[in-house]
Structure formats: structure tokens, C-alpha cells
Chains A and B, each alone.
Chain A
């Protein structure tokens, strides 16, 4: 492998790692939003 391949791979690993983490965070955020939605539905049912 040439030096170019190592440099490109290293930078790709960095961006891929950060992207995976951001995707994981966005999934957690979506799951949190779903739970808030479920909770607000539960609350409105109780009020009725």
C-alpha cells in the first residue's frame, strides 16, 4: 500500500467514526421524541 492510501484511510476513519456517533445520537434523540409523544398522549387520555 502506498502512503496515500494510509492517509486517505486515516481521514476516512475519522469522518466515518464521527458520522456513526452523530447517527447514534440522532437515533437516541428520535427515541426520546417518541417517548415524549407517548407520554403526552398518556397525559391527555388521563385528563379526558
Chain B
């Protein structure tokens, strides 16, 4: 039991410093952007984990609406919360990357705008969740918002390809568009961030389940 709980955060704690080491000491410096391109490895990994979060939240939302089991609500809520955190980090790191490259902190580019909309949708979902006391209503609203909000995820992903955008696209249909050392570093960073994401979602999920169980006990005692 103990092994099962500990291995996820332990693996991410090992892999995260390895990924940072690879970013700064192994991956070559990009020719045009220089050192600032090193933000990319964690920026993209966090974005990938945020997308996964919203996918899980959408799946959990569907499962909750079908089965009405509170564990699906807790999983959806945990995923949305971690997804909003990761999207916030993506927006801030993107801005810090954009300032020296585009000479602006923010521009209303399709990729940036759709990402901000994504953040607003799921942040609104968390606000809505915190404002409803009744459990079934709260879970239903969260599930519906998680499902509807997920519509924006493919739009964010495809925005830089479908519309005229200054945001770089790394994953193309024919190639990755990176040197092999950069691809290796990116994959390690992605693995580290995904492990961290899984640890955080699991931690938040168990906390939510404990809170619900405690509330049940309190109600029964009253």
C-alpha cells in the first residue's frame, strides 16, 4: 500500500532535477532565440499535462453524469484544479518567453487567446464549484462545465496551425522540428511533468474523497 502511494511523487522528485539538468547542460542552445528558448521544455510539458488534465476532467464528467458516483466528481474536480494551475504556469512562462522574442508580454495571437479562454473556462468552473453547497448540484455543474470546456482544448492545439499565428508549432505532421538532443530533453521533461501531474491529481483526489467522507460523518452525527 505504502509503495503504491509513494512511487509517483518519488519518481517525479527524481526525474524533475534530471530534466532541469538536461535542459541547461545537455540540450543545445537554439540558434536564433538563444538561451531563452530553454523555457520551451517545461512550457510545452506543462501545456501537455494541462491538456491531459482537462481530458481526464471531461472523461470524469461523462462518467459522473452516467453513474452518479462521487469518486468521478472528485477526480474531475482534482483534474480541473491541477489543470488550472498548470495552465496558469503555461501562460506566465509563455509571457516570459515572448517578451524577449516578440518584444511584448502579451499579444492577441490565436494560440494565446484560446489558451487564455481555456484558463477562464476552467477557473470559472472552480469558482462555480466553490459557490454551490449541495453536493449533487455541485458535481453536476462541474461535470457539465468540464465537458463543455473541453471543446476549447482541440481549438487551442490546432489554433497555431489553422489560423495565422506567430506562436511556433513543434509537433508537425511530417516532423518534430527539433534536434535529437532537444527531443530527448523534451521527452524527459514531459515524463517528469506528467509524473508530477499524476502525483498532484492523486493527492487532491484523495483529499477531496476524505473531505466528502468527513462531511458524511458530520451529517450523520448531527
Residues of A with Cβ closer than 8 Å to B? 1, 3-4, 6-7, 9-11, 13-14, 17-18, 21, 25, 28-29, 32, 35-36, 39, 42-43, 46
Contact = CB atoms under 8 A, between A and B. Distances in A.
Contacts of B100: 1, 3, 6
B34 interface: yes
Contact of B96 (A10, A29, A39): A10
Nearest to B92: A13
A6 B221 contact: no
12 contacts: A3-B36, A3-B100, A6-B36, A7-B39, A10-B92, A11-B42, A13-B89, A14-B89, A17-B92, A21-B85, A32-B207, A46-B221
A29 B207 contact: yes
A1 B101 CA distance: 12
Main secondary structure of the interface of A (DSSP, over half): helix
5 nearest CB pairs, A to B: A3-B36, A10-B96, A10-B39, A3-B35, A10-B93
Best-surrounded residue of A3, A25, A35 (most CB of chain B within 10 A): A3
Given A6-B96, A6-B99, A21-B85, 18 more contacts: A6-B36, A6-B39, A7-B38, A9-B96, A10-B97, A11-B42, A13-B89, A13-B96, A14-B42, A14-B46, A14-B89, A17-B88, A18-B196, A25-B207, A32-B207, A32-B214, A39-B214, A39-B217
Given A25-B204, A35-B214, A42-B221, A14 B93 contact: yes
Given A6-B100, A11-B42, A25-B204, A39 B88 contact: no
Given A6-B100, A13-B92, A32 B85 contact: no
